[in-house]
Structure 1
Amino acid sequence: MPPAARIGTVIVGALQLAFLAAAQRDISRRPAEQIRGSKAVWRMVTLINFIGPGSYFAFGRKRLPQPTRK
C-alpha cells in the first residue's frame, strides 16, 4: 500500500472510532426517554461504520424543546 493510502486509511479509521465513541458516550449519558427506541438497539446500530453513528445522531435522539427568549 502506498504511504499516502496508508495515512488516509489511518485517518478514516480514527474518524470512525471517534464518531463511534461519541455516539456510545451520548447513548450512555442520555436518559432513555430522550432516545427514540431502545438504547441496546442503538448501541448495536452504532457499530455499523459511519452509517450507524450518523443514523443515531440524525434519527435516534429526540429533539428537546427550545427555551423561549423574551
Structure 2
Amino acid sequence: MTHKHRELSAPVGAGLAVFDILQAAFAFLAAWDLWHRPAAEVKGPKAAWVPVLLVKWIGPAAYFLFGVKY
C-alpha cells in the first residue's frame, strides 16, 4: 500500500502557520509568566507546570485557568 503525499494549498498552509505561531506565543507567554511569577502565586510546584505547558493549547490554558492564584 502506498501513501500519496498531498501538498496543502497556500491559504491553508498560511492559516496553519499562523495557528502554530499563535500556539507557540501562548506557550511562551505561559512559560514567561511561570518563570517570573513568585512561587507563592502558583498553585502547586512550579516545576510540575513545566511539562504541562508543553501540551499544545491545553497546557498553557490550564496554567492560566487553574495554576495561577489571582
Q: TM-score range by the shorter chain?
A: 0.7 to 0.9
Give secondary structure in 2 for the equivalent of 1:36: coil
Percent of residue pairs identical: 38
3-state DSSP class of the match of 1:49? coil
Q: Classify the secondary structure of the residue corresponding to 1:57.
A: helix
Match of 1:48 among 40, 55, 62: 55
Q: Which stretches of structure 1, 4 residues or more, deviate above 6 A after TM superposition? A: none
Match of 2:10 among 3, 8, 30: 3
Structure having the higher Rg = 2
The aligned length equals 63
Q: Secondary structure at the residue paired with 2:60?
A: helix
Partner residue in 1 for 2:26:
19
TM-score of the pair, normalised by structure 1: 0.87
Q: Tell me which of 3, 21, 36 is aligned to 1:29.
A: 36
Secondary structure in 2 aligned to 1:23?
A: helix
TM-score (norm 2): 0.87
Report how far residue 53 of structure 1 moved: 0.2
* Structure 2 stretches lacking a partner, 5+ long: 1-7
